Structure 1
Amino acid sequence: MLESDGWFCEQDSDWKRRKMIDHMQNKRNRISNARKYFFQNNWESTIQCEFARRIGNTGDGGKWICNIHRYQEMIDTIILIYSFGSHGDFSFERAIKNELPNAEIHTFDRDIFQCPENVCIFHQATLGSRKINGSKSLRAVINELGHQKREIHILKVDIEGSEYDLFEEFFNSQTKNQTGGLYIRQILFEIHLGRGQNEEPSQRTHRLFELFRANNFVIFHKESNLYDPQNAFEFAILRLNPAFFSPIR
């Protein structure tokens, strides 16, 4: 319970085995820089979430969540959810609201849409690093909404390639500002491999997953987007306690 920040409760022997598998798989997760079949060769799940569930559409648009029942048990907590890149599709938000009626859901898109009534709050914004095309960083969004002291329980991101700028800016600013750390429990995102023909898109993708790991996230789900399987994959990652990543004894 300590090493998972209260997310998993199981026998120590099973937890030790789970840690061993995670550590072993993580060593195998950066194998190739080859542009073709990049996601086939790299970054597999390192941890199993026994009660993972797909929430939302069965096809494109749905996301996998680890142990949503944990959120349902938090009867005295308002579950905070950010959904970046709705494109007018609110199936995920509707499904979340059905499972977590008291959840506070904020949906963002660069175009203007209307959230379904009593489901979410819509914000028009272009997400990124603040340095390109007037985009807003994740930290800027959090500050504007006054959520600096709240946990973000689920962050869903599908912003067509801008996820690199968004995550790099956020986690690098976290490192520089140790006193202002913000806790995100789960990140559910689609990642798009850059279109360049050299190895730089691959290198940047490797660096991003290593950045997730350095900030105590593990991969619990991975699947291809069959519309463009060489360039787009869905991932779901979960934050654990730093103690989880210490050497196994």
Structure 2
Amino acid sequence: MPPRPTLVAFVALVTVLVIFFLRLIFVTLPGHSSFYRDTFGPGRSLSVWLENEEDRYALAVQDRQELIKKWGPTDVAVEPYPTHGEFYTIWDFFIPAFQCPHRVQRIGTLGDGGKWVCGLDRVAKQDKCVIYSFGINGESSFESTLLKRAPGCEAWGYDYSVNNWGPEINDDPELKKRAHFKPWALGGTDNHNENDNPKYWTLDSLMNLNAHSFIDILKIDIEGGEFDALTSFLRAHENRDFPVGQLQLEIHARDGREHFESFSRWWASLEAAGLRPFWTEPNLVYINLVRGVRPELAEYSFINIRGNHALVNEAFN
């Protein structure tokens, strides 16, 4: 007996609805550039997304304080890498609880060298953009991929331990035109006189030297020097918008920075500047190469939720 018209119509309607909702889910997965609009419905904006994420991030900060009370009860008493059966490490207090409203993707090689970036498509739409990279170490897949994806970008690289970019840029004449390198170190103070070796520059001094007022993408991997360098940069821009769109940072929580209290204060200074972590991964390559060590290294990516840059500008499209 042929199916009744009402049944056929019902099946057709269900099929259309299933297709619609599947399309909605896959088009607006977190990380898609239009996710914040589609998720919150028509008329909702990027600023609303950021406000909602900031509320959720505040809850994560509260959770951090509760974890400190549990294992402290103050941050002075928290042991970064406990050895008496406690189930945490320092990284469990500082989770990437902020969700980037744009596509998040790994840029550069898999393994050591690649970084997680937020909203590269938006950055790449700009006529001009600025990339700073500290810590090259002969591997430039991250920077070369950024330059290929964003033709309006130029990159400034610094590393006193090598003489130039890695082969990914150095062997590509077209990319090398937009990539500038100096064998200098990033530090918390300026020490770059003629006889200084290596020559240390603060980030603020380098920006002034290069006539830059804003850095779209800032990568720092300088083996522990990030604490003094970023502290100096933050102080130079107190009570002003932090002049960085996003930060890819390897944190080395060891040596003098093992003390949880000092680390916590430093992390809070990043948050006070408007930086919010949206991604992290432990450096397992380091653990594998130096067996038996503590998990002292971790990669973090931060978005700056303030200012008027491509990642937070409501009008940018």
TM-score bin, normalised by smaller chain: 0.7 to 0.9
Matched with 1:190 is 250
Unaligned stretches of 5+ residues in structure 1: 1-6, 245-249
Output aligned runs, 1:140-151, within 5 Å. Answer: 140-147=205-212, 149=213, 151=214
Over aligned residue pairs, what C-alpha RMSD do you find? 2.6
Larger relative helix fraction:
2
Partners of 1:225 and 1:171 lie apart in 2 by 26
Matched with 1:174 is 237
**Could you state the TM-score of these two structures normalised by the residue count of structure 2?**
0.65
TM-superposition CA deviations, 1:77-103 (whole Å, max 9, x none) = 311000001011111111111211221
Kindly indicate whether the alpha-carbon contact (under 8 Å) linking 1:51 and 1:67 is maintained by their aligned counterparts in 2.
yes
The answer to whether 1:34 aligns with 2:79 is yes
Higher relative contact order (CA 8 A, sep 6+): 1
Residue identity opposite 2:251 in structure 1: I
Change over 3 Å in CA distance of 1:86–1:233 after alignment to 2 = same
Structure ID, larger Rg: 2
TM-superposition CA deviations, 1:132-183 (whole Å, max 9, x none) = 7752111111111111x3x2100000000000010001101212xx57x551
Partners of 2:80 and 2:36 lie apart in 1 by 39
Partners of 2:215 and 2:281 lie apart in 1 by 24
Kindly indicate whether the alpha-carbon contact (under 8 Å) linking 1:222 and 1:236 is maintained by their aligned counterparts in 2.
yes
Q: Secondary structure, in 3 states, of the residue corresponding to 1:153?
A: strand
Residue identity opposite 2:220 in structure 1: V
Unaligned stretches of 5+ residues in structure 2: 1-33, 69-77, 82-87, 192-197, 288-293, 313-317
Matched with 2:225 is 162
The answer to whether 1:239 aligns with 2:304 is yes
TM-superposition CA deviations, 1:72-125 (whole Å, max 9, x none) = 222xx3110000010111111111112112210011101232232333211111
Task: Determine which of 206, 215, 230 is the counterpart of 2:273.
Answer: 215
Kindly indicate whether the alpha-carbon contact (under 8 Å) linking 1:137 and 1:166 is maintained by their aligned counterparts in 2.
yes
The answer to whether 1:109 aligns with 2:159 is yes
Deviation at 1:131, TM superposition (A): 6.2
Matched with 1:3 is none
Matched with 2:185 is 126
Partners of 2:124 and 2:226 lie apart in 1 by 28
- Alignment: residue pair count: 228
Q: What is the percentage of aligned positions where both structures have the same residue?
A: 26
Residue identity opposite 2:152 in structure 1: N
Partners of 1:168 and 1:121 lie apart in 2 by 25
Partners of 1:131 and 1:139 lie apart in 2 by 10
Partners of 2:272 and 2:91 lie apart in 1 by 22
Task: Determine which of 114, 120, 123 is the counterpart of 1:71.
Answer: 123
Partners of 1:200 and 1:192 lie apart in 2 by 9
Matched with 1:51 is 103
Matched with 1:4 is none
